[in-house]
């Protein structure tokens, strides 16, 4: 597993002991409201453990889902990822394109963590020879669109090619 380090953050492998944090973060409507065509909040620890398993299933030699942790305090802040996009359809299928993304706990919002984690992931993607890297953002999620711009990503336009929803597409 590849850990990434930035000035304030450690991006590391998710561990089973992190399931309670996953439940806390993804049980919040304000976190889930922009994730997917039909966002569903987690309701129990079994759901959080299933989410950890699903993330592991999306990983390969390069693509990874990381826990974002404060290096100084050890406090978990959220998730960052570099994964294959999922094409629209029933069921969703893996696409050839690679996606960067981040989900943060509301306690970590507005402190630059998403931009810092995203920059670490994009730097890792560049070192790994992955290009372009895309971000798909719910059109109403202005905060994540601003993070994409701060990361130097350019808006390509709207698309419905991924996740059975219309998204704003950004590219490196």
Neighbours of 111 (CB within 10 A): 13
Q: How many residues does the chain have?
A: 172
Whichever domain contains 24, its CATH number is 3.40.630.30
For residue range 120-172, list pLDDT tens digits in order. 999 999 999 999 999 999 999 999 999 999 999 999 999 999 999 999 999 99
Give pTM, 2 decimals: 0.95
pLDDT-derived band at 1 (thresholds 50, 70, 90) equals low
- Phi/psi of residue 19, each to 5°? -60, -35
* Domain tally, the chain: 1
Owning domain of residue 126: 4-171
For residue range 44-71, list pLDDT tens digits in order. 999 999 999 999 999 999 999 999 999 9
In a 13 Å sphere around the CA of 104, the CA atoms on its Cβ side amount to 23
- Asked if 148 contacts 114 with a C-beta cutoff of 8 angstroms, the reply is no
């Amino acid at each position: 597993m590849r850990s990434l380090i930035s000035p304030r953050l450690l991006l590391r492998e998710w561990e089973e002991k992190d399931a309670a944090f996953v439940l806390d973060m993804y049980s919040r409507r304000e976190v889930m409201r922009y994730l997917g065509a039909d966002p569903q909040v987690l309701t129990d620890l079994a759901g959080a453990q299933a989410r950890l398993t699903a993330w592991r299933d999306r990983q390969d030699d390069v693509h990874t889902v990381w826990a974002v942790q404060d290096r100084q305090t050890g406090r978990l802040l959220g998730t960052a990822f570099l994964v294959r996009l999922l094409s629209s359809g029933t069921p969703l299928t893996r696409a050839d394109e690679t996606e960067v993304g981040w989900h943060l706990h509301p306690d970590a919002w507005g402190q630059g963590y998403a931009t810092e984690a995203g920059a670490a992931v994009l730097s890792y993607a560049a070192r790994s020879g992955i290009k372009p890297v895309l971000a798909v953002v719910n059109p109403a999620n202005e905060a994540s669109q601003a993070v994409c711009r701060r990361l130097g990503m350019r808006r390509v336009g709207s698309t419905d090619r991924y996740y059975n929803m219309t998204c704003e597409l950004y590219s490196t």
